[in-house]
Chain A
């Protein structure tokens, strides 16, 4: 690895982190504005023009809050948990290709941080590791509500990981690669995979909502039942880290959906360049998330399990079988 490569990697990492943190900040604003529209109110519109500085105000507020460590917590784990959540959330994005290779400053720069041959597995692995953040937070907080939240997180993530992983197998079979760049290029040559794998897309979307603990699968924090669940005992920036991880995960699973099913950085026409197309697709999926949150009641713990094991998992398996038959017939 030359010095240039290292500089390139560092710069790209920084850009990704800054971009993701900005995305997190503005996702909160975007969500609150959309919720406001759907709920007959304006949402935050006082800080800055059209409320655009609201995320800054929120960030400053959280930063100045006292970081309370309650008595009786398991301190190392209590402090480690938010870090695990946010680090895994950030690193998962590393393998997502944001655009094709561009020539900048005389160097051919591919628009992704890493393109290793198990990219897809890496995203899934980071998602699973992120669960530790929540489970440990629930375990270490010395609070029964947090403990219940942590337990729910463990059960939920195990159940939905399987369906999520299986829903992607069909794509692997068609594209023949675990590298996300190869998958995007495969779609550029043929059809977008949402047309080939519609069932997988639906399973993926549902499982992804459960993976990121978003409504209607937000049982892990379920304010009305668990008073915030795993993050009940966290204040200030530590709480903000959990919040950050949740929103960055949303962006990542949306980016992954766009990459795997919606053609990644490729647009149907050449109006925009690659990264903008991807951004547009991510925003589309994020909007769907917000609309679901505004519309649906929360599922119950056992119903969530039933949906995962009785419906999504068999359907994902069926999808794999159908894909295999389809591939065999076409060959």
Chain B
């Protein structure tokens, strides 16, 4: 489709805006309602068909990885919250596990079970935001509000235990920030009991909706080979038919003892990614309920005084506690020299923390394998050949969080 150039085709800075010919270059983002943050895409369009799609990142560059080098290991926890702000507890967990491996310690059993419970609640939380925004991207505005109703319950729970709704920093090296407050488990359990009913509600809006199916089935198809070549992980990979889930393949926190399935489909399109995440929310509910059932009593922080800050009460009576407290707060704990890579299954895929310790209280280097960043590179192969409207659906189906893309 040839597009005649409008008059006055000179941009403000004097450069010539080329609108003639068959293709039109269009700049989508960084300020655009459906790029999920500050993602910028440079598109070549023929009519409305995308012939080239080039993601440009860096608009949210925070320098987290460099900042880690200036923080003690404990202070680093707060940075993990801010990378994937929709799944802070997952990031906390990945970071805590990496440091624990470096230190050669393990969290107490109660802390481990609570970690599983929180990781699964975070997965639900993340998928709720994803579902709401994906539906919104397709123009179905109401689903968003229903998802956020349930998310609100989860955020209240997070606030109840940690004092913060988003930046929880609750899972720490050695255990947890604190034990769960009274009444928390009951509230979480009642939420988990009624949540499957809410999933049915969301599905009634979308799953069998003819327009939704038209918009998503066969859109953004990725073959299993392509997906593996692009290093895709998470629900998008499982929608391509590859049952890759670190909770099953490289279990951590005792995931091997929980009974859950890894939903896998073979279509590899936007609709299958939707179905996978809906199924994952159900599985997460199951895991979380199992965690509640088996929750042991006991401490939630390691007893090692070289790592855990001593309780307030001890400071007045114990000289040693006072010294430990002072050393931990001023210098932090000092893991032995070495390097470690630990990865977990975050809601978006494999999140890995690579830490190098030089024996001081601060990491020598910290690199994060961020799923959003690596999954984003599958966007161009999926979107070329589709329409602009498909591109919007595909971005939503990858579920990127730009805080994690630009570290």
Residues of A that sit less than 8 Å from B by CB:
35, 38-41, 71-74, 139-142, 144-145, 147-148, 151, 215-216, 218-219, 222-227, 293-303
B1-23 contacts to A, CB under 8 A, are 1, 3, 6-12, 17, 19
Q: A72 contacts B139, CB within 8 Å?
A: no
- Interface presence of B342 (CB below 8 A): no
- The 5 lowest CB-CB distance pairs between A and B, nearest first, are A298-B139, A297-B140, A39-B145, A297-B138, A224-B34
Q: A72 contacts B10, CB within 8 Å?
A: yes
Known: A39-B145, A301-B48. A296 touches B33 (CB 8 A): no
Which of B74-82, B160-168, B205-213 lies on the face that meets chain A? B205-213
- Interface presence of B26 (CB below 8 A): yes
B residues less than 8 Å from A293 (CB atoms): 141
CB nearest to B391 among chain A residues = A225
Known: A72-B11, A299-B214, A301-B389. A227 touches B33 (CB 8 A): yes
- Interface presence of B390 (CB below 8 A): yes
- Interface presence of B283 (CB below 8 A): no
Q: B387 contacts A296, CB within 8 Å?
A: no
CB nearest to B148 among chain A residues = A40
- Interface presence of B32 (CB below 8 A): yes
Task: Give a binary string over B288-312; 1 marks a CB under 8 Å from any A CB, 0 the rest.
Answer: 0000000000000000000000000
Known: A223-B33, A296-B211, A297-B211. A38 touches B142 (CB 8 A): yes
Task: Give a binary string over B217-242; 1 marks a CB under 8 Å from any A CB, 0 the rest.
Answer: 00000000000000000000000000
Q: A297 contacts B48, CB within 8 Å?
A: no
Q: CB < 8 Å: which of A142, A147, A151, A225 contacts B392?
A: A225
Known: A224-B34, A297-B135. A40 touches B145 (CB 8 A): yes
B residues less than 8 Å from A299 (CB atoms): 211, 214-215
- Interface presence of B388 (CB below 8 A): yes
Q: B32 contacts A227, CB within 8 Å?
A: yes
Q: CB < 8 Å: which of B7, B48, B142 contacts A294?
A: B142
B residues less than 8 Å from A39 (CB atoms): 141-142, 144-146
Q: CB < 8 Å: which of A38, A215, A301, A302 contacts B139?
A: A215
- Interface presence of B137 (CB below 8 A): yes
Interface residue tally of chain B, by bracket? 35 or more
- Interface presence of B368 (CB below 8 A): no
14 interchain pairs, CB-CB under 8 A = A39-B142, A40-B146, A71-B12, A72-B8, A72-B12, A141-B6, A142-B8, A216-B211, A222-B139, A224-B33, A295-B140, A297-B135, A298-B139, A299-B211
- Interface presence of B24 (CB below 8 A): yes
Minimum distance in angstroms from B393 CB to a CB of chain A: 9
Minimum distance in angstroms from B206 CB to a CB of chain A: 8
- Interface presence of B253 (CB below 8 A): no
CB nearest to B4 among chain A residues = A139
Known: A39-B141, A296-B209. A72 touches B9 (CB 8 A): yes
Q: B139 contacts A216, CB within 8 Å?
A: yes
B residues less than 8 Å from A218 (CB atoms): 139
**In the complex, what distance in Å separates the CA atom of A145 from the CA atom of B11?**
15
A residues less than 8 Å from B214 (CB atoms): 299-300, 303
CB nearest to B29 among chain A residues = A227
- Interface presence of B374 (CB below 8 A): no
Minimum distance in angstroms from A306 CB to a CB of chain B: 9
**In the complex, what distance in Å separates the CA atom of A38 from the CA atom of B142?**
7
Minimum distance in angstroms from A189 CB to a CB of chain B: 39
B residues less than 8 Å from A35 (CB atoms): 141
- Interface presence of B187 (CB below 8 A): no
Minimum distance in angstroms from B226 CB to a CB of chain A: 23
Q: A224 contacts B8, CB within 8 Å?
A: no
Q: B389 contacts A300, CB within 8 Å?
A: yes
Minimum distance in angstroms from B216 CB to a CB of chain A: 9
Q: CB < 8 Å: which of B11, B138, B205, B387 contacts A295?
A: B205
Q: B138 contacts A139, CB within 8 Å?
A: no
Minimum distance in angstroms from A117 CB to a CB of chain B: 39
**In the complex, what distance in Å separates the CA atom of A293 from the CA atom of B145?**
14
Q: A300 contacts B10, CB within 8 Å?
A: no
Q: B145 contacts A41, CB within 8 Å?
A: yes
**In the complex, what distance in Å separates the CA atom of A300 from the CA atom of B142?**
19
B126-149 contacts to A, CB under 8 A, are 135-142, 144-146, 149
Known: A73-B8, A300-B387. A294 touches B211 (CB 8 A): no
A residues less than 8 Å from B139 (CB atoms): 215-216, 218, 222, 224, 296-298
B residues less than 8 Å from A216 (CB atoms): 139, 211
Q: A224 contacts B137, CB within 8 Å?
A: yes
Q: B388 contacts A225, CB within 8 Å?
A: yes
CB nearest to B140 among chain A residues = A297
Minimum distance in angstroms from A299 CB to a CB of chain B: 6
**In the complex, what distance in Å separates the CA atom of A219 from the CA atom of B387?**
13
A residues less than 8 Å from B19 (CB atoms): 144, 147
CB nearest to B389 among chain A residues = A300
A residues less than 8 Å from B389 (CB atoms): 219, 222, 225, 298, 300-301
Task: Give a binary string over B99-141; 1 marks a CB under 8 Å from any A CB, 0 the rest.
Answer: 0000000000000000000000000000000000001111111
**In the complex, what distance in Å separates the CA atom of A142 from the CA atom of B206?**
37
B residues less than 8 Å from A297 (CB atoms): 135, 138-140, 206, 209, 211-212, 215
**In the complex, what distance in Å separates the CA atom of A300 from the CA atom of B392?**
11
Known: A223-B33, A302-B387. A296 touches B215 (CB 8 A): no
B26-45 contacts to A, CB under 8 A, are 26, 32-34, 45
CB nearest to B1 among chain A residues = A151
Minimum distance in angstroms from A138 CB to a CB of chain B: 9
A residues less than 8 Å from B9 (CB atoms): 72, 142
**In the complex, what distance in Å separates the CA atom of A223 from the CA atom of B24?**
20
**In the complex, what distance in Å separates the CA atom of A140 from the CA atom of B8?**
9
CB nearest to A38 among chain B residues = B142
B residues less than 8 Å from A145 (CB atoms): 26
A residues less than 8 Å from B212 (CB atoms): 297
Q: CB < 8 Å: which of B6, B34, B138 contacts A147?
A: B6
